[in-house]
Structure formats: structure tokens, C-alpha cells
């Protein structure tokens, strides 16, 4: 089977060299010289920051760069700071017909695209690798169909552009993240020791193929967002055995080729107090050999940049590890470019935002994350922007006459070439998620290119952080976006609940049955949907609780709802909104899918037959150990 062979054996040396030859890579170790004359380079907006990097300075004494975007200079930023871009979907995008352009509007070939990234200050490319992202007939699962062959192709272009490469081994056949850490199909049923051997062999063979192809691999990531689970294992003894197997394979392949390659481990959810300290302690206790503790950081999920600096500093200072952000991004618009829908959209991750949704917001976010990692000190080594080029195959406009035709063409490309986040073929491997919600890019509005493939000014932030820019400072306070203000429960027309957002000091209308201190109405600015207070919960051990309010209703039809966010509650957790009238109880169950990712369970069509009827509206949670989250903005309205 095509996919099975690729997944088990990796790309052969002969295949890698053939691919290298076809790509036209000469294998030169010299640095790439940017195209154009010296005079032309001096006329570009990034000239001074390019000087700062190539001359080994931190930009001190250089004048601000000309730009319409305001970017505050990051003081003392070293010239070897890692500015990365994860472009794992690029090859699949190009195979679907996506085109990219430079700032002058010239269409770019593949090498030209990577040259453009390098010209804007990107010095590292991150590429994810799945073992076998294909079904038995060779149909790709989507998400870029990110096999080793595609990593070699993109890695060669990146190397020829003068950038280094970070390989992100997921050790799965499809997406691995805190909620999903499924072992590859070929490793099903293996013991931990057998799995460690397979993982070691796969890692060394794959890395050797990349190096033989001429890819300048500078870092290898062992797993992706491995929050308490990795490659199908959830016991820390087993996880660390697998981490060590991957690390040892990297060390072996690097030594064989006389190369220095860093080993990174990658986690998510830095907003949870104590999480990273616990993870780092487990790694130290199990003597896992690694160099870099890497974090995901998305501001709409993961708290403040100040807190990010704090938790990364704890790891760096306690264990002497380098730290970095392996993934971050921000939206330039709430529009959808391909008809699939986005992670950040109207009504989704668009409230109480720390930055505006705009190119200026992208610039502010990226600059602040760079500053936050730099603030750690010498151990803070870099920041990678996630999928800045995952744009639509064809631009979709909902109001256009040909909208349906465009969507159908996009959908066909997602299925054929894997250029969407998942194809329908992925359902055999991931039936609960991809099997239900396959389709296009969910981050096209967070790219650093517009929907048509032209680079945004925000792509230049990697250079602007050395000098700052001439634009006037931008004043912005969280909540200024209209979308952040339009849905607070207190403003729901006709809301019959008292203190529905928990903002008033008098909370006597709420009856809380919560053992110990697992839940309570608390001031939690990082966990609210609106205001400053919410019904927050967390406990180290398994727990359950209820919170409810009783109101008297007139005859009519009603609708009740609430908002919930959080995570880590376990597979058997229950989250429920309920309405009880006499002996009759109506419920609506929901799930928690991450920090500030609000679900909205509703009980609708609730018929009250007589005036003066009592109804009780409440929430129920049953969580496994470590579950955390918050309810906010409850409502009850008459329809």
C-alpha cells in the first residue's frame, strides 16, 4: 500500500537524492545572497534591520523603518534570535494551484516564495511530519498531507534560501495536539518498548534522509503539544521512554553526519498555573535528554504575554533549558476566505481581545510575543508563526453569485491535494473530529498573506522589531472591537436571570453546591467571556458540582443558554445546562475545547403553561482530575 510503505520505512536515501536532484539543490554550504543590487536593497523598507542582523548588532542606533504599521522596537534583541514560519501546508497548497506574489506583485515560484520569507527576516522554517497520512488506497488525510517527502521538498527550498529547518515529528498519522495523540496505524498494539524501538528507527531514518537530501536541519521536535499524552501513551513513565527514544535517535543521526541538532519538546496551555513546572519536573525526574522547552501561544486561548514570560522563565531558570514559542498567530480580518469557517470568526474567539483584528493587530501580537520570549533572557531563543501561508485555494465571497461554485472547487482541491485542514478520507483514522468536520483552512484570516497570496505588511515585523517603525503608536484597549462588546449576558434583551454574568457583589440568587473549593464565583479576568467575574472551577482530584437559580415565569415559550470554556476534564466528563420545572428537567450537554473557546449550550422551546410557574436554571459539571474552566453569561429569555 502506498501510504503504508511511506509511513513505515520513511523516504529512502535514493528517493531523497532523486528528489534533491529534481529540486535543483546543489548542496552548497554557503549563505544565500539576496537577489538584486546593493542599491536596490538599500531602497527597501527592511534595509536597516537587514543590516542589524547581518552585521551582528541588535539594531541600536539605527533609524526606525518606514511603515504604515506601528511596531515598537524590541530592545537588545540578539541577531541570532530565531524567527520561524511553519509552512507545512505549502506544498499541498501549491499542488492545489495556490499562487504567491512578492510586494511588487510579481508571481513567485517555489524557490522565490522561500526567498521572500528570508528577505523579510525569517531565518527558520518549521515543517510537521506525519508517519502515514494516507488511507489504504493512497488518499491523503489532508492538513497538507504532511509526509516526509513533502518535508524534504520544502526543506530544500528553505535551505537554498539560507534558512534552517525545524522538523516537527508528530508520531501520528494525522494531527497531534493536547486532545489527540493517536499512535500511527503501523504501531497499533505495540508495547511501550516496541513502540520506542519503532519510534527511534523511524526518527533516525527520516532525519538521515532529510540530511542526505541537503536539508539544513537545526532542530527536531519530538512530538507536538504533548500535554500529558504522547503517541497513544498517557503515563509519564511511558511518555518519557518515548521522548528519550526520539531524542537518542536525533543525537545518533546528528553525530553520524557531524551535525549539531537541537532537540525540542513541545507543550501547550501555558495559561494554566503550574502546568509547565509540572511537565519540566517530570522530564527532569525521568532524565529526558532535550535542549528546548517549546510552547504554543495563541492570545485568544493562552493568557497574557507577561504570564508566558513567567512560566517559560521558571523552566529556564530551574532546569537550564532554552525556551521558545513554537506556534503563534493572530487574525487580520474576521472574514472567511475559503468558505470553510475559521478558528477566529464572528462569535468565535473574537471577544475581550488583547489586540485589534487587523494587520496592525498582527504586528502588535507578533512583536509582543517576540518581546515576551526575549524577556526570559539568554535562554529565550525564538518565536515561530504558525501557517502564515495557509490561504484559500480560490477566494470565496459568500455574497458573490458564484460562491457555491467556488466553494465546490475548493472542496475538490481539499479532497484531492490535501490543502484543507482535513479530507473526508481522514475519517478512518479520526472519525470523531475529521470524520465530522473535514474541509478547508481554519486559519486563512491569520495568514501573513492576503487571500489572493500577496504578502501583508505584517510579514515584515520580523525585521521591524530590530528598529521599530516611523508610524505613530496605536492606542488600543481590550474590548474596543464591536464584536467583543455585543453579547454580554447583561445586554441580552429580556434576560430574566439576576446577575447572569456574576458581576454584582450580591450573588445570593445563585445556589452553589460545590464540595471543597472546586468551584466558585471569582474574579478571573483571563477566564471570563465578559466583565471580570465568572463561575470558575478547578480541582486536583475528580469533582462534580451544580450552580442554579430559580425564577418565576409567566406563561409562554422560553430559551435558556450559557457559555462554557476550559479543558483537561477527561473523556468521561459531563457538562450540562439544565432547566427544571416541577418534575420535568430539560438538559443540553456540551464540551470544553480549550481556553477562551466558548461553547454555547441552549435549552429551547421550553413551554410554560401557567403564569407564576417556578423554573430552575442551572449548570452541572462532573470532571476528571485536573479539569478546569468557567461558565459565564447565562441567560433566560421569553420567545
Residues 225-268 have pLDDT tens digits of 999 999 999 999 999 999 999 999 999 999 999 999 999 999 99
What is the model's pLDDT at position 477? 78
With 0-12 CB in 10 A as exposed, 13-18 as middle and 19+ as buried, what is 56? exposed
Q: Which residues contact 294 (CB under 8 A, 6 or more apart)?
A: 221, 264, 265, 266, 267, 323, 324, 325, 326
Is the confidence at residue 581, as pLDDT, over 70?
A: yes
Q: Is 152 helix (H, G, I), strand (E, B) or coil?
A: helix
Please say if the pLDDT value at position 423 is more than 50. Answer: yes
Least confident span in 4-13, 133-142, 166-175, 256-265: 4-13
DSSP states of 242-291 as a string? HHHHHHHHHHHHHHHTT---EEEEEE--TTSTTHHHHHHHHHHHTT---S
| Confidence class for position 59, pLDDT limits 50, 70, 90 | low
Measured CA to CA, the distance from residue 391 to residue 127 in angstroms comes to 17
Ramachandran quadrant class, 214 (left: phi over 0; alpha: psi -120 to 50; beta: rest): left
Mean pLDDT of 415-434: 95
pLDDT value of position 17: 36
The number of CA neighbours under 13 Å toward the Cβ of 156 is 24
Mean pLDDT computed over 613-636: 94
pLDDT band at 516 (very low <50, low <70, confident <90, very high): confident
Q: Which pLDDT value is given to residue 351?
A: 81
All three cell numbers of 121, joined, read 527576516
- 602 with 513: CB under 8 angstroms? no
Region 42-71: mean pLDDT is 66
Q: What is the pLDDT of residue 432?
A: 85
Lowest mean pLDDT: which of 93-102, 176-185, 524-533, 572-581? 524-533
How confident is the model at residue 22, as a pLDDT? 39
Indicate which residue of 93, 149, 205, 225 is catalytic: 225
Name the band, by pLDDT with cuts 50, 70 and 90, for residue 201. Answer: very high
Q: Is the pLDDT of residue 125 over 90?
A: yes
What are the φ and ψ backbone dihedral angles of 42, each rounded to 5 degrees?
A: -65, -20
- Global pTM reads 0.74
**Residue 417 confidence (pLDDT):** 98
Per-residue model confidence as pLDDT tens digits over 456-498:
999 999 999 999 999 999 888 776 443 444 444 445 678 999 9
* Catalytic entry in 327, 365, 387, 415: 327
3-state secondary structure of 590: strand
Average pLDDT of every residue of the chain: 89
Strand segments (E) across 284-428: 292-296, 322-327, 380-386
Q: pLDDT exceeding 90 applies to what percent of the chain?
A: 77
Residue 18 is predicted with a pLDDT of: 36
Location of C-alpha cell 436571570: 497
Q: What pLDDT score does 51 carry?
A: 54
What are 282-329's pLDDT values in tens digits?
999 999 999 999 999 999 999 999 999 999 999 999 999 999 999 999
% of residues, the chain, pLDDT over 70: 88
- pLDDT for 621 equals 96
CATH topology of domain 2-467: TIM Barrel (3.20.20)
327 is a catalytic site residue:
yes
Q: Determine the Cα–Cα distance for residues 164 and 494; give it in Å rounded to an integer.
A: 58
Query: What's residue 26's pLDDT?
Result: 35
| Helix (H) / strand (E) containing 166 | strand 164-169
Helix (H) or strand (E) holding 207: helix 192-212
Burial of 251 (0-12, 13-18, 19+ CB in 10 A): middle
CA neighbor of 114 nearest in space, from 156, 158, 144? 158
DSSP string computed for 508-568: TT-EEE-STTSEEEEE-TTT-SSSSEEEEEE-SS-EEEEEEEEEEE-SEEEEEEEEEEEE-
* List of residues 6+ apart from 75 with CB closer than 8 A: 58
**For the chain, first and last CA: distance in Å?**
57
Catalytic annotation present for 225:
yes
**Whole-number Å distance between alpha carbons of 158 and 155:** 5
Per-residue confidence band for 633, with pLDDT thresholds at 50, 70 and 90: very high
pLDDT band at 594 (very low <50, low <70, confident <90, very high): confident
What value, to the nearest 5°, has the Cα angle with vertex 567 and ends 561 and 571?
Answer: 95
Average pLDDT over residues 142-171: 98
CATH class in words for 487-638? mainly beta
The per-residue pLDDT for 40 is 33
Nearest Cα neighbor of 578 from 604, 603, 599 is 603
**Closest by alpha carbon to 582, among 610, 556, 559?**
610
* Number of other CB atoms surrounding residue 624 within 10 Å: 15
| Predicted pLDDT at 549 | 96
All residues at 6 or more sequence positions from 481 whose CB lies less than 8 Å from its CB, including other chains: 350, 351, 353, 356, 357
Check pLDDT > 60 for residue 370.
yes
Using the predicted structure, report yes or no on whether residue 573 has a pLDDT greater than 90: yes
Neighbours of 112 (CB within 10 A): 17
Closest CA to 521 of 508, 535, 532: 535
CA dist., res. 262 & res. 224, Å (int): 15
Domain residue extents for the chain: 2-467, 487-638
Instruction: Render pLDDT for 519-533 as a digit per residue (tens, 0 to 9).
Output: 999 988 778 888 889
pLDDT of residue 15: 40
Amino acid at each position: 500500500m502506498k501510504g503504508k510503505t511511506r509511513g513505515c520505512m520513511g523516504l529512502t536515501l535514493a528517493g531523497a537524492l532523486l528528489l534533491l536532484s529534481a529540486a535543483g539543490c546543489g548542496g552548497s554550504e554557503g549563505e544565500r545572497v539576496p537577489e538584486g543590487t546593493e542599491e536596490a536593497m538599500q531602497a527597501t523598507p527592511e534595509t536597516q534591520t537587514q543590516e542589524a542582523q547581518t552585521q551582528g548588532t541588535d539594531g541600536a542606533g539605527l533609524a526606525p523603518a518606514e511603515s504604515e504599521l506601528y511596531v515598537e522596537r524590541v530592545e537588545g534583541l540578539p541577531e541570532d534570535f530565531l524567527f520561524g514560519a511553519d509552512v507545512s501546508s505549502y506544498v499541498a497548497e501549491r499542488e492545489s494551484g495556490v499562487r504567491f506574489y512578492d510586494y511588487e506583485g510579481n508571481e513567485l515560484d517555489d524557490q522565490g516564495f522561500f526567498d521572500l520569507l528570508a528577505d523579510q527576516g525569517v531565518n527558520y522554517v518549521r515543517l510537521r511530519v506525519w508517519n502515514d497520512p494516507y488511507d489504504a488506497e493512497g488518499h491523503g488525510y489532508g492538513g497538507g498531507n504532511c509526509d516526509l517527502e513533502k518535508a524534504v521538498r520544502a526543506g530544500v527550498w528553505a535551505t537554498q534560501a539560507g534558512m534552517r529547518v525545524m522538523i516537527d515529528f508528530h508520531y501520528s498519522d494525522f494531527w497531534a495536539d493536547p486532545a489527540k495523540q493517536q499512535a500511527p496505524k503501523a504501531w497499533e498494539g505495540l508495547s511501550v518498548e516496541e513502540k520506542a524501538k519503532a519510534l527511534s528507527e523511524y526518527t533516525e531514518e527520516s532525519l538521515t534522509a532529510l540530511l542526505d537530501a541537503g536539508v539544513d536541519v537545526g532542530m527536531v521536535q519530538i512530538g507536538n503539544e504533548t500535554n500529558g499524552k504522547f503517541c497513544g501513551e498517557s503515563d509519564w513513565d511511558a511518555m518519557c521512554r518515548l521522548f528519550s527514544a526520539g531524542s537518542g535517535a536525533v543525537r545518533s543521526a546528528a553525530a553520524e553526519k557531524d551535525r549539531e541538532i537541537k532537540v525540542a519538546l513541545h507543550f501547550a496551555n501555558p495559561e494554566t498555573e503550574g502546568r509547565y513546572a509540572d511537565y519540566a519536573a517530570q522530564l527532569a525526574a525521568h532524565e529526558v535528554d532535550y535542549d528546548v522547552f517549546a510552547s504554543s501561544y495563541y492570545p485568544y486561548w493562552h493568557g497574557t504575554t507577561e504570564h508566558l514570560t513567567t512560566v517559560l522563565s521558571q523552566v529556564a531558570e530551574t532546569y537550564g533549558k532554552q525556551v521558545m514559542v513554537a506556534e503563534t498567530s493572530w487574525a487580520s480580518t474576521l472574514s472567511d476566505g475559503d468558505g470553510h469557517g475559521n478558528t477566529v470568526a464572528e462569535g468565535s474567539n473574537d471577544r475581550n481581545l488583547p489586540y485589534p483584528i487587523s494587520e496592525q493587530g498582527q504586528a502588535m501580537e507578533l512583536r509582543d510575543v517576540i518581546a515576551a520570549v526575549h524577556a526570559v533572557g539568554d535562554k529565550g531563543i525564538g518565536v515561530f508563526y504558525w501557517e502564515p501561508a495557509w490561504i484559500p485555494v480560490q477566494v470565496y465571497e459568500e455574497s458573490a453569485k458564484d460562491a457555491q461554485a467556488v466553494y465546490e472547487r475548493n472542496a475538490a482541491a481539499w479532497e484531492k491535494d490535501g490543502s484543507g485542514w482535513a479530507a473526508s478520507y481522514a475519517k478512518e483514522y479520526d472519525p470523531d473530529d475529521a470524520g465530522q468536520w473535514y474541509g478547508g483552512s481554519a486559519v486563512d484570516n491569520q495568514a501573513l498573506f492576503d487571500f489572493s497570496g500577496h504578502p501583508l505588511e505584517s510579514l515584515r515585523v520580523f525585521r521591524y522589531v530590530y528598529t521599530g517603525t516611523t508610524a505613530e503608536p496605536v492606542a488600543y484597549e481590550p474590548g474596543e472591537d464591536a464584536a467583543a462588546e455585543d453579547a454580554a449576558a447583561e445586554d441580552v434583551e429580556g434576560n430574566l436571570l439576576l446577575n447572569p454574568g456574576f458581576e454584582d457583589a450580591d450573588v445570593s440568587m445563585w445556589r452553589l453546591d460545590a464540595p471543597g473549593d472546586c468551584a466558585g464565583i471569582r474574579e478571573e479576568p483571563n477566564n471570563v467571556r465578559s466583565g471580570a467575574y465568572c463561575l470558575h472551577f478547578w480541582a486536583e482530584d475528580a469533582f462534580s458540582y451544580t450552580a442554579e437559580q430559580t425564577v418565576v415565569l409567566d406563561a409562554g415559550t422560553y430559551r435558556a443558554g450559557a457559555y462554557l470554556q476550559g479543558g483537561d476534564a477527561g473523556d468521561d466528563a459531563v457538562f450540562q445546562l439544565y432547566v427544571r420545572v416541577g418534575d420535568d428537567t430539560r438538559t443540553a450537554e456540551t464540551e470544553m475545547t480549550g481556553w477562551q473557546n466558548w461553547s454555547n449550550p441552549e435549552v429551547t422551546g421550553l413551554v410554560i403553561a401557567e403564569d407564576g410557574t417556578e423554573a430552575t436554571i442551572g449548570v452541572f459539571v462532573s470532571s476528571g482530575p485536573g479539569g478546569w474552566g468557567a461558565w459565564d453569561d447565562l441567560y433566560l429569555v421569553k420567545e
